Each structure stands twice: as structure tokens, then as C-alpha cells.
Amino acid sequence: MDDNPVALQFLENILLSLGVKATSINDPCKGIEIFTENNFDFVFIDIRMPKINGYELVESFARMNPDYNTKFIALSTNIYDDSRNNVLNSGFDAFLLKPVKEMMVASIFAKFIGTFKENDKTLSEPKNFQGVLLRVLLVEDNEVNQKMMTKMTRKMGIKMDIANDGIEAIRMIQEKKYSLIFMDVQMPGMDGYEATRKIRELHINTPIIATTAHAMSGDKDRCLSSGMDYYIPKPIRRHQIYEIVSKFIGKDILKAKVDSYRFLIVEDDSNLLNALADVFKMHFTSSACEAVNDGTKACMLLGSFLPDIVIMDLMMPDMDGIKVIKYLKSDKRYSKVALIVMTGLEENDRKVQEARSFGVNHFIFKPFKFENILEKINVILKDLKDISRINKEGIHLIESNSNELGLDSGEYVEILKTFIKNTENKIDIINNSINNKEKDKLIRLAHSIKGSAANINFLEIANMASNLEKEAFAEEYGKCRLTFEEIVNSIKTIGNILNNYDKKQKQ
């Protein structure tokens, strides 16, 4: 139940993709009428609605049907006005922060429905997760358990990092994005319960799976109440890991392993070139990968091999990375090719800034770990899929947003173009502010984008800008860089929507 039709449609699509039958209502009064005639297992309610807000609704619903165990899930765009504790103390069973993601909804169902049934064939058990960009964190102080889990997951194609206690886990989670966390509850220093509470306080919604060797009555409830999403007793077996990953990671990500992409690696250091080629072939088993040692060979190869992503060194003899970038940008055939630039230069070096001026946003600074490259690839592949999806939905999105704001489509598009232009004008300033660690300027710019994006109903960009504002305030400039890149890519996506819309209007 949500008065915002775009948010309502997004949630309905998520529920459909999870195989859940849903009834969508954008009017709380109509919602009350339908609730009295039906028994619902779950009710998702936007807290901030006109006429009747979510707090009043959940109180009314609870009185109407006290015997039926309906779970009420609160939806909100503002974590500050609607804190988790306030919501849960007002009759709601769980809280989700918008924009809602499929994994978040799946976690809610897993939390309340209980144990997974062995005959549940909604997600078939894969033989392995080879080629899926998964990063899992194990928080465990026992060395034997660490080695067992690492070996089991490695054979399944899962990359697992280890944290020896809760304190180390919190640090690692703030430095990297994880798909899933296995959390031992009994550890010296900071135990799993406290670590989970602190992780949730950081507004990190990664699914956390409790593990314990002491399966006692009440343990499961205690785990779930601390913010964990599921509970499994030790010893852990491979089929349990398959089940957990399949359930919590989501079907879309698991299907990514069968997607085929084309990668081109350009690097004059033969050792690094061969190592990168091996890593790509291991992680993207269904994709094609070509590796060459200079820019000239790369440009010659482009005639017969059109890559989705080029991973390229910036400084090479003869034809360097800048010349290759210019070559790519000069030909419309390569307009959709994504670029990742590797370099040993400093971030504020003239060559790096020149590459940025040609629209390159993904940089890896040497020395680096291979997982840094894979994380960038993960972001780009997600963007490629999002662009494809959003381009298809773009016209509908423009019409929905314009209706929501009481404008006709032409008026809304004009405002949207102004937003794009103003935001693009801020990109170089934000980039320099991150490089120069100009905290106050960065906060001000992020706040401006946040307000504008929210006003035109692009809540995902508003949330990104909000994250950038918080990261700037905390002086976490590494995170600022990653969030900034997400904003830039989203702005490009909106540009694609507008181009498609204009073409459609001219037809």
C-alpha cells in the first residue's frame, strides 16, 4: 500500500519476481475496505501517506483481525523521521528503507515464514556459483571452522573473506560491499549479537546468517531480534550453504552466471596481463576475453571483437590509454563500451584528469587486488542491465512521475533536462572536491542533488546523494568516490531515457 504509483509498481514487480501474489492499493481508505474482506499474510505499508498515515493504518488493521497472524512491514524514505525502533514499537513487524530491493523483501519473507522446506523448488539448487559475482563474509574466531567454510565455499565458486571477531567484521563491512554474512554468535570481545546490532545501526542491510554450536531454545528468536535474517546450527553442511545463498542472494544475481560478456584487457606488463586474463577466465566462464599488450593492437582488434568492457592501462609505449580512449570516443560503434582504466599515477595527475574529461569514471589505482577489478566489473554489469531495463521502462517512468507531480509529460521532461544539465555541471566540481577532500563543498553539492532528485521523484538518485552527503560528513572519501560514480552512471541512464523519449515523440 503506497500512494506513490512508481514505488507501488516497483514493489509489485519485486513480489511477482519472487512468485508472490500481491494486491496493490494506492488509497489507504480503499486499503481498509479490502483488508476487511481478505486475510493477508503480509501487508507492506508506506508510513507517509495523505489522509491516513501508516501508523494509523497498522493500528486499525490490528484491531480488525487480531486472530490472523498478519505481518505488517513499514516502508519509508527517511530513516531519520521513521527510525527502526519507533516503527517496531508502533505495531509493525519489520522496517524497509526505500528504494526497496528484491533481496530485502526476500529477507523479510525468510525471516517470518521460517525454515526452508526441502521440497521448495522455487529456486533450484545450482551445482556451483562459478561466474557469479558473490562476496561472502565469514565472522568466526575458530580457525578450524574458518578453514572448513573457506574450502567448502571455494569449491562452490564463492569468494569468502574472514573476520576473526565482531570488531574486525564491522571494519571490513564498511570497506567492502558483501552479498551475504555468516555470523558466529559466540565470540570473545564483541559477539555476533552486538556486531549485528552495530551493523544495522550503520544502515547496512546485507543479509546476516547466525551460526552457533549451541542450539538452545530461544537462540533463534534472540538472533532475529538482534537484526539477523536467519539462523543455522553448527556444524554447517554444503547443502545448507547452497540453500542459504540461493534464497538470500536472489534469482536475478544467480542468473547472472549464464550471461555472456566480452572483455578486452590492454596492459603492457606481460605478467599482469596474463594474471588478469586468468582471473577473468576463471570468474566469467561463459564470457569471451581477449588480452593484448599495447594500444595499437587493441584498436586493430576492435574491428572484429566488440567488447562490452575494456580494462586498460593508462601509460603504455607507442599508443597509450589516452589515445585509445580518443579512438573509442570518435566512433559511434563503441559508444556503449564501458572503460576501466588502470594506472600507477596519482588520482590528481594530469593524465588521469584528461581521461576523466573524456567521460571515464572507473579507475583502478596500482597496486591493486584482483577483487578491486571484479568489484568494478560488478558495478558496470549491473549498470548495463539497469540501462537496458530502464530504457524499456523509461517512457512509462516519465509518464508516471509527471502524473504524480501533476505535470504533463512535456513539462516534466523540460524539468528533467534542467536537472540533468545542472547535475552534469556539478560533476567536475564534485570530482575535484573529492580529490582535494573539500568536505564542506562536497556536502553542499550532494545536498543540492539530493533535494533536486527528490523533487522530480528520482528517489534512487536522491538516496545516492544522501549517502554521498553522509560519507562526506564522515570524511570517508574512498566511499565518496564509489557513490559519486554511481550517481554519474545514473545520470547517464536518465540521459538515455530522455533520448529514447524524444525519439519516440518524433515517430
CATH label of the domain that carries residue 388 = 1.20.120
Closest C-alpha to 249, from 164, 175, 153:
153
Mean pLDDT of the 103-122 span? 58
Same domain, 493 and 428: yes
Residue 14 lies in a domain: yes
Quote the number of domains for the chain.
Answer: 4
CATH number at residue 204: 3.40.50.2300
Same domain, 384 and 498: yes
Q: Where residue 234 falls among pLDDT bands split at 50, 70, 90?
A: confident
Q: Which residue among 256, 291, 324 closes a domain? A: 256
Using an 8 Å Cβ cutoff, are 149 and 182 in contact? yes
Q: Where residue 44 falls among pLDDT bands split at 50, 70, 90?
A: very high
pLDDT over 70 (residue 387):
no
Q: Where residue 124 falls among pLDDT bands split at 50, 70, 90?
A: very low
Using an 8 Å Cβ cutoff, are 103 and 147 in contact? no
What CA–CA distances, in Å, run from 17 to 12, 103, 379? 9, 11, 22
Distance CA 173, CA 187 (A): 18
Residue 79 lies in a domain: yes
Residue 284 lies in a domain: yes
Residue 129 lies in a domain: no
Q: Which residue among 232, 256, 280 closes a domain? A: 256
Using an 8 Å Cβ cutoff, are 309 and 281 in contact? no
Same domain, 228 and 286: no
Same domain, 146 and 209: yes
Helix (H, G, I), strand (E, B) or coil at 136: strand
Same domain, 364 and 420: no
**How high is the pLDDT of residue 120?**
40
pLDDT over 80 (residue 386):
no
Grid coordinates in use for 328? 573509442
pLDDT over 80 (residue 218):
no
pLDDT over 50 (residue 252):
no
Residue 107 lies in a domain: no
Task: Tell me the pLDDT of the chain averaged across its residues.
Answer: 80
Grid coordinates in use for 330? 570518435
The residues that bridge with 364 in the sheet, in sequence order, are: 342
φ and ψ of 136, to 5 deg = -115, 140
Using an 8 Å Cβ cutoff, are 210 and 192 in contact? yes
Distance CA 386, CA 378 (A): 12
Mean pLDDT of the 211-221 span? 65
Same domain, 341 and 387: no
In this predicted model, which residue has the larger pLDDT, 497 or 184?
Answer: 184
H helical segments located in 304-458: 321-329, 350-357, 370-404, 409-435, 439-455
Same domain, 380 and 278: no
Q: Where residue 121 falls among pLDDT bands split at 50, 70, 90?
A: very low
Mean pLDDT of the 159-177 span? 90
Mean pLDDT of the 470-497 span? 89
Q: Which class for 323: exposed (0-12), middle (13-18), buried (19 or more C-beta within 10 A)?
A: middle
Cis peptide before 28 (omega within 30 of 0): no
- Where are the extended beta strands (E) located within 42-105? 42-46, 71-76, 94-97
Give me the half-sphere count of Cα atoms (radius 13 Å) on the Cβ side of residue 188. 3
Q: Which residue among 340, 368, 396 closes a domain? A: 368
Closest C-alpha to 202, from 163, 169, 230:
169
pLDDT over 60 (residue 14):
yes
Residue 121 lies in a domain: no
Residue 124 lies in a domain: no
Residue 317 lies in a domain: yes
The residues that bridge with 135 in the sheet, in sequence order, are: 159
pLDDT over 60 (residue 230):
yes
Residues 215-219: contacts with CB under 8 Å, at least 24 apart: 219/185
Instruction: Summarize pLDDT for 432-469 with one digit per residue, the tens.
Output: 999 999 999 999 999 989 888 888 878 778 888 988 99
Global pTM reads 0.35
Q: Which class for 14: exposed (0-12), middle (13-18), buried (19 or more C-beta within 10 A)?
A: buried
Same domain, 296 and 400: no
Same domain, 427 and 469: yes
What residue numbers bound the domain in which 332 lies?
259-368
Same domain, 476 and 390: yes
Same domain, 201 and 324: no
Same domain, 327 and 290: yes
Closest C-alpha to 470, from 459, 479, 461:
479
Q: Where residue 78 falls among pLDDT bands split at 50, 70, 90?
A: low
Q: What is the DSSP letter of 125?
A: P
pLDDT over 90 (residue 115):
no
Mean pLDDT of the 501-506 span? 73
